[in-house]
Amino acid sequence: MVSSLATVPIDGGAIWKTLERPARSDPGEVRAVLARALEMGGLGGRDVAALTGVSEPDLVDELFHAARSVKERIYGKRLVIFAPLYVSNLCSNECLYCAFRARNRELTRRALTQEEIGQEVRRLEEQGHKRILLVAGESYREEGFDYVLRAIDTVYRTSSGRGEIRRVNVNVAPLSVADFRRLKGAGIGTYQLFQETYHRVTYGRVHLSGRKADFDWRITAMDRAMEAGIDDVGIGALFGLFDWRFELLAMMQHVEHLERAFGVGPHTISVPRLEPAVASAMASHPPHPVSDLDFQKLVAILRLAVPYTGIILSTRESASIRRETFALGVSQISAGSRTSPGGYDAASEEPEAEQFSLGDHRSLDEVIRDAASLGFVPSFCTACYRLGRTGGDFMDLARPGEIKAHCAPNALATFQEYLEDYASEGTREEGAACVRRGLAEMEPGLREKSSRMVRRVADGERDVYC
């Protein structure tokens, strides 16, 4: 372990030099990069820069085709499903793009009690969710960070009927190494944190006060998390704050830093775009808006650049954009989301408490049915976390392609569980056809293993995984 907690080296000068190329990439160079990408060894900065300049429709199609190919070879057609659980919108930071910012007087502030958190969890379980992302602003109740630890414990202890949350991932403010150790001890899956923007000057302009104004404290959070033993971390940028090409290349530098320091990069990368937020002119008018085409390009490029890293697509995006982007490299999606504390409570009517505006307002069941109709296998699997297939151990299975032997049957078994216990009639019919297709497309040995697992679920067994 050779990490330094002073800062993470983001070389902006090198990024701009790499991006100094003609606006339209040379077709021969692009095709050479795509050929290398299909070998699934990842891409360097110059290769990524070449792909950002792709604009000819034929080359864009080739880029998208390569991303689909790599995604399916590694992850198959599965889409892991989760929901965010906001427990607090109390925050001490002044971030110009966020409704939770400290000086926003138009927001209803709330930190859920443990009883209220339990009620939210039951609502999610009754929809069929098994995996959540716990989110809190950078200020807690009087308990301090203990509030988050108690919230995690509440989530795990809460059940409704056959429902249970099997894995809690966490997106909370950067911690000390000591507190990261406590977070690991709470049994989390992935620790997720976005740098928001890797451009230091822009970072200072949009983060005016609070601990989050410290660029270095935030960017070194993953180092501290991994020092503390959390080997599954998720990074991301908030696209729209600065040039998306710069953010992409800077993110690659962050990935390379973690790989050098700890032997493994992030487990996931998230790709949120700025969406309108209460009392934020910046959120409604992004300084560097990212078009739908450029957004899809950046997802495809990420899939080729870091082929074994999960890519997360949230409900910030519209249903139509999500449908079009799933195949370009996305491996995890949120569904049926609410971004305010208490948002899942049927009696709650507080849209002004949302962190940002949602683009996809569909229920979990509607998203599941749509994804299955498009040929994807919705997965509620949490097996890797529970069997210790995380960090380097996960990559050791992913790189030779062996992870699909676990992911494919687990996806079908957990999807069958959803169909049996929660799906509407239309979704059950669509899902059954999806399961049949998934089994038919498997090689014989894996098909038999998966069929046995699906049958066990259909016969009444639950939490079947390998």
Measured between alpha carbons, how far is 111 from 130 in angstroms, rounded to an integer? 23
Average pLDDT of the residues of the chain: 93
Domain extent listing, the chain = 12-70, 77-361, 390-458
The predicted pLDDT at position 209 comes to 97
pLDDT at 348 over 70: no
With pLDDT > 90 as the criterion, what percentage of the chain qualifies?
85
Question: Which residue, among 466, 378, 461, 382, has the nearest Cα to 423 in the 3D structure?
Answer: 378
Q: What is the mean pLDDT of residues 108-137?
A: 96
Looking at per-residue pLDDT, the higher value among 345 and 320 belongs to 320
| 212-251 pLDDT, tens digit each | 999 999 999 999 999 999 999 999 999 999 999 999 999 9
Q: What is the mean pLDDT of residues 70-87?
A: 94
Q: Could you tell me the pTM of the whole model?
A: 0.95
Identify residue 398 by its one-letter amino acid code: A
pLDDT at 345 over 90: no
With pLDDT > 70 as the criterion, what percentage of the chain qualifies?
96
237: β partners = 196
Question: Which residue, among 106, 88, 394, has the nearest Cα to 265 in the 3D structure?
Answer: 394
> Residue 3's pLDDT band (boundaries 50, 70, 90)?
very low
| 284-293 pLDDT, tens digit each | 999 999 999 9
Q: What is the mean pLDDT of residues 249-265?
A: 96
Measured between alpha carbons, how far is 344 from 132 in angstroms, rounded to an integer? 13
Both tokens of residue 209?
């006060």
pLDDT at 259 over 90: yes
The predicted pLDDT at position 347 comes to 52
Identify residue 331 by its one-letter amino acid code: S
pLDDT at 2 over 50: no
Please check whether residue 111 is in contact with residue 145, taking contact to mean a CB–CB distance below 8 angstroms: no
Measured between alpha carbons, how far is 22 from 301 in angstroms, rounded to an integer? 18
The predicted pLDDT at position 453 comes to 97
pLDDT at 22 over 70: no
The predicted pLDDT at position 403 comes to 78
Beta strand 310-313 with 207-209 is: unpaired
Both tokens of residue 460?
């009444």
Measured between alpha carbons, how far is 351 from 25 in angstroms, rounded to an integer? 44
The predicted pLDDT at position 346 comes to 61
Least confident of 29-33, 142-146, 213-217, 249-253: 142-146
Measured between alpha carbons, how far is 433 from 349 in angstroms, rounded to an integer? 37
pLDDT at 89 over 90: yes
The predicted pLDDT at position 4 comes to 45
The structural architecture, per CATH, of the domain 77-361 is Alpha-Beta Barrel (3.20)
135 exposed, middle or buried (CB, 10 Å; 0-12, 13-18, 19+)?
buried
| 357-387 pLDDT, tens digit each | 899 999 999 999 999 999 999 999 998 888 8
Beta strand 94-95 with 207-209 is: antiparallel
Burial 276-307 (b: 16+ CB within 10 A, else e): bbbebebbeebbbebeeebbbbbbbbbbbbbb
Looking at per-residue pLDDT, the higher value among 230 and 397 belongs to 230
